[in-house]
Amino acid sequence: MTPLYLNEIFSNSWWMYLLIGFGFGFILEKAGFGDSRKLAAQFYFTDMRVLKVMMSAIIVTMVLVFFFSSIGLLDFSKVYMNPTFLWPQAVGGFVMGIGFIMGGFCPGTSLVGAATLKIDALVFVLGVLFGVFIFGETVPAFNDFFNSGSYGKYSLFDLFQIDAGIIVLVVFLIGLIAFERAEWGEKKMGYVKSLESKGTTRLVFGLTGFLALLVAVTLFKGQPKPDDRWAWVEPKFGAVEKTRDFHVHPKEVRDLMIDPSVSLRMLDLRKEKDFNLFHIENSQNVSLSDFQSAKSKLIKKMQSAPANRVFILISASDKDATEAWKLLKGIDVLNAYVLDGGINHWLDVFALDKNFASLNSLADLSEDKMKYTFYKTVGSSQFSSYPIDPLHGEHKQEHADYVKKVKLQSKSVAKGGCG
Amino acid sequence: MNKLDRGEHANPYLAGILLGVVLFLAFFLTGGGLGASGAVSRVQIGLLDLIAPLHVDKNFYFAQVAGGDKNPWLDSSIYMLLGTILGGALSGIMSKRLKLEIFKGPQITNNARLIFAFIGGGVMGWGARLARGCTSGQALSGGALLSVGSWVFMLSLFAGGYFLAYFFRNLWLPKNKGGSV
């Protein structure tokens, strides 16, 4: 299935945020979180409400997100995930824990406490306002620390290098164990609970079973792979082999090499042997399989590339390069292009003397093979690997006899509620 | 919703499940999660911008929200903040909990409770900005997406709370229980 991208419809509607906030506040209050005593009780093991509500909310959201992602209705890469800044998060979390036990609220719960006119909550909110003010005034003094341990969008399944479904299962099971322990602990501490109706208990168990089913489906289906993701965008870009909107003429690539406004990366997909015989200067030898796994280092690097980075994919003609381009389009790597006609075309245009290679008329170009036969290994030592005349470095544009295809695109940055 | 009976607190698991559905809908419909401290920070910067706009422009941290022509009030998080307050108030009204009062442990005075609420709020506000999010934005939203930093944050938060709970026991516990924890 194709993602619905409902966020493109609703993310600009103020009433949607109002509605979501409304549900958030209503449930927090209903759960008893407007009462600082209930919140603080978590830290004395007398009422494990905070753990129960938070952990079950995290589990439900996690299961739904990764289930919808696995069946292809939700594009996980388009969901805003807080970037990881390890050290400030660790210290900030610890500091907040201290504030929690002193003040009895966290910022969200203090809002619902204040909404139900609890004076301690109102004073707490004033304290938060003061605290964020002091932070703004003091952060210039420790800005380096504030930005330390930066890992970007970094998830537990990136850390452990395994399928997200396995982490989902583990967190789900840890949650169930934690709930069982919490019930046991409360009984031991002699906390008297209000009687739960049998119906509620049955409903909770029923929903837990349903979640277990979703976890199983998520595990079985797995998260979308680059192939699946290309299928999502195929209606939009499927005709690219005919239109060649993303196939860049060798001369444009040559001009990009000396364009100070772009940071060019050339990725050569040919076999190492062909690459060694001849390649474009500063190009990097990669293989098509690097593009087929969403977890490969190359993909990670490409996804976190700076906004002015342009990738040029190179193969002998351009079949493999186009395949790689499709996979990149699926995972939303912007500014990826294909060297039109590949190295063969490059040599046609730039290797005027061809003193190291000759045309082989028998080569089967449909197989993305070299049509040149090399007399010797030249690597990137020849002028044709970096065909820029040092005396005429500024020769671009004046006589650009090709159609320019490269247009720098930048991502629209998704925002989070707590940023 | 007969499970959320009037006047009582909801079953915590059921409340958690519903909260999880709301958080999922936030991701599914808006692409982002829940949050509170970000909006509170905007309110603070917005107020400061009314009083001392030049000071806001000079501080890079404030300026990124309200520097120059930027309007700190026009942001989705502000609508979410309003919704949170309205939702909390409605639930409070329905459960007859909307009442001007102070909740505190049995051992301390009202004034002591309010002083600690202010200090705790201040510490928490400062920490929330350092961690780039609060219990809602980091622990809940980031935790559900399995963000490494959010899980580190969550564990640190509970570590901080449990670490100091003993020293602040008189704030919350009755006298006879104070020593036994």
What is the reported pLDDT for B94? 93
Asked if B87 and A24 touch (Cβ cutoff 8 Å), the reply is: yes
Please report residues of A whose CB lies closer than 8 A to that of B146: 62, 155-157, 164, 167-168, 171
- Dump pLDDT digits (tens) for A121-147: 999 999 999 999 999 999 999 999 999
What is the Cα–Cα distance from B88 to B6, expressed in whole angstroms?
Answer: 14
Residue given tokens 């595990």 in the structure block? A219
CATH 3.40.250.10 residue spans of chain A: 227-399
What is the reported pLDDT for A382? 85
- Dump pLDDT digits (tens) for A203-251: 999 999 999 999 999 999 999 988 888 888 888 888 877 788 899 999 9
A154 touches chain B (CB under 8 A): yes
Q: Which residue of A has its CA nearest to B171?
A: A102
Q: Which residue of B has its CA nearest to A7?
A: B30
- Dump pLDDT digits (tens) for A390-411: 765 555 555 667 888 888 887 6
- The per-residue pLDDT string of chain B (181 residues; one tens digit each, 9 = 90 and over) reads 334 444 578 899 999 999 999 999 999 999 999 989 999 999 999 999 999 999 999 998 999 998 888 899 989 999 999 999 999 999 999 999 999 999 999 999 999 999 999 999 999 999 999 999 989 999 999 999 999 999 999 999 999 999 999 999 999 998 865 444 4
Dihedral sign from CA coordinates of A206, A208, A213, A218: positive
Q: Which residue of B has its CA nearest to A170?
A: B146
Residue given tokens 């990149």 in the structure block? A328
Asked if A115 and B92 touch (Cβ cutoff 8 Å), the reply is: yes
A244 - beta bridge partners?
A: none
List the Cα angle A178/A180/A184 in 5-degree steps.
110
- Dump pLDDT digits (tens) for A309-357: 999 999 998 899 999 999 998 888 889 999 999 999 999 888 766 778 8
Residue B131 has which token pair?
A: 């961690």
Residue A136 has which token pair?
A: 């703004």
Domain ranges for chain B, please list them: 1-99, 102-181
Please report residues of B whose CB lies closer than 8 A to that of A26: 87-88, 90-91
Residue to test with chain A: of B2, B58, B132, most A Cβ within 10 A: B132
Q: Do B145 and A102 touch (CB under 8 A)?
A: no
Out of A59, A92, A119, the one facing B127 most closely (by C-beta) is: A92
In three state form, how does the secondary structure of B92-160 look?
HHHCCCCCCECCCCCCCCHHHHHHHHHHHHHHHHHHHHHCCCCHHHHHHHHHHCCEHHHHHHHHHHHHH
Interface A:B, Cβ pairs < 8 A: 598
A227-399: CATH superfamily = Rhodanese-like domain (3.40.250.10)
Q: Do B20 and A64 touch (CB under 8 A)?
A: yes
In order, the DSSP letters of B23-79 are: HHHHHHHHSS---SHHHHHHHHHHHHHHH-HHHHHHSHHHHHHHSTT--TT-SHHHH
Residue to test with chain B: of A8, A24, A85, A196, most B Cβ within 10 A: A24
A107 touches chain B (CB under 8 A): yes
Dihedral sign from CA coordinates of A289, A294, A296, A302: positive
